[in-house]
Amino acid sequence: MVTIHNLHFSYRRRPVFTGLDLELQPGQIYGLLGRNGTGKSTLLRNIAGFLFPQKGEIDAFGFTPGKRQPAFLAKYFHVPEDFQLPDVPLARWIQYMSPFYPDFNQGQFEHYTREFTIPTFGHLQELSYGQQKKVLISLALATNAPLLLMDEPTNGLDIHSKSQFRKIIAGALDDRKCILISTHQVKDLENLIDNVTILEEGKILFHQSMNRIAEKLLFKLSVDPDEAARALHAESSLKGQAVILPNLEGEDSRPDLEMLYKAVLLNGKTINAFFS
């Protein structure tokens, strides 16, 4: 669906990407993790065609995003971290926006707004920031665009709304859609994503499916000091040591995204060696 090859991008003299490669497949939810300022938003904007690579190629559905062709624009929806909705009634805004997306479904939009408990009367500017974000996410999903790019979509949402977000996103995926979600709030994506991509200083440090992570790495609590000493990563907890170990016996465990993220940042080469 999206192929990025040898991407180079800089802001004036500050390089962000120098030879980045990445592939995104349909039917998958990708979690793009990384600290603030490491290039997550820049990558999404390059894929959307808002920014233009100095070198390398981005292919999305056979289009070059930077050319901004109408046929490409109808195939993706970008939910930015910062946005400004117009001061018009919500219903009128949907009338303006929906014709740009041939697969837009009004019934789906109404379903998502009900799930998010958004008032659908009145002007958009009368809604809180969190409600406006949920309106934007509802529109993104109702367009049925094959590619959804979401930049820090859970910022501004309360705990209940974050839970609603995970439920709605999981239910909206099908085998022709690809969803790329960037965040530095790692816990917000647990139990949602199919693939983890960790970005640091403009480089992809880690890119694996959740199934393969569970196959190769064992996440557990341990009270054995020797086991903790052998761990690829260990953290103190009230019940002992939370550890990541090589999954040599094929045991079942649930990957802890926050632990994995820290482990990759601290010791990425060792972690990646188990996926070679």
Query: Are 132 and 220 in the same domain?
Result: no
Q: In the prediction, which pLDDT does 50 show?
A: 96
Task: List the domain range (segments joined by +) for residue 218.
Answer: 211-273
Query: Are 195 and 217 in the same domain?
Result: no
Q: In the prediction, which pLDDT does 224 show?
A: 81
Query: Are 93 and 227 in the same domain?
Result: no
Q: In the prediction, which pLDDT does 45 show?
A: 97
DSSP, res 2 = E
| Domain finish residue from 175, 201, 227 | 201
**Buried (b) or exposed (e) across 233-259, using 16+ Cβ within 10 A?**
bbeeeeebbbbbbebeeeeeeebbbeb
pLDDT digits (tens, 9 = 90+) for 133-154: 999 999 999 999 999 999 999 9
Query: Are 194 and 130 in the same domain?
Result: yes
Q: In the prediction, which pLDDT does 184 show?
A: 86
Q: In the prediction, which pLDDT does 264 show?
A: 95
Q: In the prediction, which pLDDT does 178 show?
A: 96
Q: In the prediction, which pLDDT does 253 show?
A: 86
- In this model, does residue 166 exceed pLDDT 80? yes
Strand partners, 73: none
pLDDT digits (tens, 9 = 90+) for 231-247: 999 988 777 789 999 99
Query: Are 51 and 124 in the same domain?
Result: yes
Q: In the prediction, which pLDDT does 201 show?
A: 86
Distance of CA 241 to the CA centre of its chain: 29
Output the average pLDDT for the chain.
92
pLDDT digits (tens, 9 = 90+) for 79-111: 999 999 999 999 999 999 999 999 999 999 999
The whole-number average pLDDT for the span 198-209 is: 92
Query: Are 70 and 172 in the same domain?
Result: yes
Angle between helices 90-97 and 129-142 (to 10 degrees): 30
- Among all chains, which residue has been given the structure tokens 């930015």? 80
- In this model, does residue 203 exceed pLDDT 80? yes
Q: In the prediction, which pLDDT does 26 show?
A: 95
**Total tally of structural domains belonging to the chain:** 2
Q: In the prediction, which pLDDT does 135 show?
A: 95
Lookup: tokens for 154:
């859970």
| Domain finish residue from 201, 224, 240 | 201
- Give a yes or no: residue 82 inside a domain: yes
Q: What is the pTM of this model?
A: 0.93
Please choose, from the candidates 22, 67, 62, 34, the residue with its C-alpha nearest in 3D space to the C-alpha of residue 49.
67
Q: In the prediction, which pLDDT does 12 show?
A: 84
| Domain finish residue from 168, 201, 234 | 201
User: What's the rounded Cα separation, in Å, for the pair 223 and 256?
Assistant: 18
pLDDT digits (tens, 9 = 90+) for 108-129: 999 999 999 998 888 999 999 9
Please choose, from the candidates 21, 28, 81, 26, the residue with its C-alpha nearest in 3D space to the C-alpha of residue 50.
81
Q: In the prediction, which pLDDT does 238 show?
A: 75
